[in-house]
C-alpha cells in the first residue's frame, strides 16, 4: 500500500489514558498485593481507603478488593492528569518523576494528614523503599505508555509490510 494515501490514525487521548490507567492499576495494584503478602511493606494493599473503612475490614478479601479498586481508580485519574499535562514529553524519566511525585504526595502529605498511613518517620525502611520503587515503576508505565502513543516515538519503529493471506 502506498503510504501517501494512508490516513493517519488518531487515538482518542482520554480513552487511551483511562485504558492505560486501568491496566496500571491492575498490574501495579496486583504487585502491591504481592508486596504485602511477602511482607516487603507494612502498609495494607487497601491503604488508599484506610480512612473510610475499619482497619480490620481491610484485611478481608472484600476489603482487599476494594483497596485494589481504589488503586485502579487512582491510576485512571493519574493517567488522565498525565495525558492532560505531560503527554508531549518524551522518554521514561518524566513518568518516573511523575510516579515519585505521586508517592511524595501520598506518603509525605495527604496520607498522614487524613489517616491513610503513619508519618514517614514511623514507617520501616523496607516499606519506604518498596513503595518508592513501586510508584516509580507505576509512573514509568503510565508516562512512557502515554508518551509513546502521543509523541513521535512511534516514528522510530521499523516499518513492516503486512503479508496478504491468500
Q: What is the pLDDT of residues 50-82, one digit of tens each?
A: 989 998 898 899 999 999 999 999 999 999 999
Q: Return the pLDDT at 160.
A: 59
Q: Round the average pLDDT of the chain to a whole number and report it.
A: 87
Q: Return the pLDDT at 149.
A: 82
In sign, the C-alpha dihedral spanning 24, 80, 133, 131 is: negative
Rounded Cα distance between 162 and 102, Å, is 41
Q: Return the pLDDT at 55.
A: 85
- The DSSP H or E segment spanning 19 is helix 13-37
- Tell me the domain boundaries of the chain: 11-151
Rounded Cα distance between 133 and 122, Å, is 19
CB 66 within 8 A of CB 25: no
Q: Return the pLDDT at 135.
A: 97
Amino acid at each position: 500500500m502506498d503510504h501517501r494515501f494512508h490516513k493517519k490514525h488518531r487515538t482518542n487521548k482520554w480513552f487511551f489514558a483511562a485504558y492505560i490507567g486501568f491496566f496500571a492499576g491492575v498490574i501495579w495494584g496486583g504487585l502491591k498485593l504481592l508486596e504485602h503478602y511477602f511482607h516487603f511493606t507494612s502498609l495494607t494493599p487497601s491503604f488508599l481507603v484506610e480512612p473510610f473503612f475499619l482497619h480490620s475490614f481491610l484485611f478481608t478479601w472484600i476489603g482487599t478488593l476494594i483497596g485494589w479498586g481504589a488503586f485502579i481508580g487512582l491510576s485512571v485519574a493519574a493517567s488522565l492528569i498525565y495525558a492532560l499535562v505531560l503527554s508531549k514529553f518524551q522518554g521514561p524519566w518524566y513518568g518516573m518523576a511523575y510516579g515519585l511525585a505521586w508517592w511524595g504526595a501520598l506518603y509525605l502529605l495527604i496520607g498522614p494528614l487524613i489517616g491513610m498511613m503513619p508519618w514517614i518517620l514511623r514507617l520501616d525502611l523496607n516499606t519506604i523503599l518498596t513503595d518508592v520503587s513501586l510508584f516509580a515503576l507505576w509512573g514509568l508505565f503510565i508516562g512512557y505508555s502515554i508518551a509513546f502513543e502521543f509523541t513521535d516515538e512511534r516514528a522510530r519503529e521499523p516499518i513492516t509490510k503486512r503479508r496478504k493471506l491468500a
